[in-house]
Amino acid sequence: MKFAFLLLLLFQLPVHAETECDYQATSNELLKLSCDFFEIANAILDKKEVVPSRIYHFGKKEYVDKNIAAKTVPEADWDKYIMGDITRYDLGFVRRGLYGTGGLDTNNYGHGEYQALMEITIKEECRKPERVFSLHDLQKDSRFQEWFNKKKRSMKLEKFGEECQLWDPQGYDNKKCEKIVGEFLKDVNAGVIQDHIVSKSFYIRDRNCIENIRGTPSDWLEIFSNSPNLFIPRCNGYNKVYMLSALLSNVIQTVEPIPEATYVKLKENMRLSDGPVADILSFAFEAKVRCDKIESGGFKKTIEALKPTDLLDVKYQDLCR
């Protein structure tokens, strides 16, 4: 049963063979970038603009709600949880920051207690090439070369390139390399860094680079119904279930019934065919006014049938609160 429902969910969306990804670079245009990490890293070395205007982050509801209310990450939380020692994956100093993906197709972190979703708008000044870095082949970056040579270190640049590839996302223990890169990022006031673990992912190093954070139920209703490129399964993306879970857990809290036209747009943008998942969406969008009518219907059975997959992390009772 578990694998049957998993396959049903995974294959409801068509698979595209494109080798490029669509980023929502601005509200009016899409920045097309290769899904390949190395090509994006090389684009950063070539001083090309690669960072999308908006990235998407899953986190614990209590913190996400606080960020949404403040429209940023409160300074105390930033210092403690983003750049401090208390991090989700025990990250080393140079890997700390506020993470997010340019779309939702490659973001596989929205499950369990980290199901709350927020949209982060990055200031234009921080998306400029001079504020953006990749730690891959950092020794080839002319900005790092100039900075490194001015320091007159005993370690040669070539030696740094051999010993200091910062690829391990956690438990990295090369303190000498970590210290050098940490000093560099601080001295150059790095704004955004490419994440080498997840396609289309970046992390913000400078809190002042956050222009806005949003993610209320009404925000997501607008975002999900007007952003078709968030759900295109590219870069080998197969994260439909987390998207659906995020949609349900955020949008169903709306007080008013969702208009039919909006539901149609949501269904189109998420590439949903008719079936159990589409039925869940249909019920959920009307749950506020129909909960008294669906208790004895098939909706509860559908939810219960999907729950054994441990993927659609939405409780039935949450739909009728």
- Mark whether 64 and 197 lie in a shared domain: yes
Question: pLDDT value at position 189?
Answer: 96
Q: Evaluate whether residue 29 is within a structural domain.
A: no
Which residues, at least 6 apart from 55, have a Cβ–Cβ distance to it below 8 Å? 99, 100, 101, 102, 119, 120, 122, 201, 202
Sign of the CA dihedral with 30 first, then 111, 58, and 91 last: negative
- Mark whether 71 and 176 lie in a shared domain: yes
- Mark whether 208 and 269 lie in a shared domain: no
How far apart are the C-alpha atoms of 257 and 91, rounded to whole Å?
A: 42
**H-run or E-run covering 278:** helix 276-285
Q: What does the pLDDT look like over 186-235, one tens digit per residue? A: 999 999 999 988 878 999 999 999 999 998 877 887 887 787 777 666 66
> What pTM value is reported for the model?
0.77
Average pLDDT estimate for 136-141: 92
**Residues 82, 98: contact at Cβ < 8 Å?**
yes
Question: pLDDT value at position 213?
Answer: 98
**Residues 116, 219: contact at Cβ < 8 Å?**
no
Q: Evaluate whether residue 187 is within a structural domain.
A: yes
- Mark whether 263 and 142 lie in a shared domain: no
Question: pLDDT value at position 15?
Answer: 30
Instruction: Provide the domain limits for residue 296.
Output: 237-316
Average pLDDT estimate for 139-162: 90
- Mark whether 43 and 176 lie in a shared domain: yes
> In Å, how far are 35, 112, 234, 308, 318 from 314, measured between CA atoms?
30, 10, 25, 12, 7
Is 196 in a helix, a strand, or coil?
coil
Q: Which residues pair with 99 in a beta bridge?
A: 203
Tally of structural domains, the chain: 2
- Mark whether 203 and 278 lie in a shared domain: no
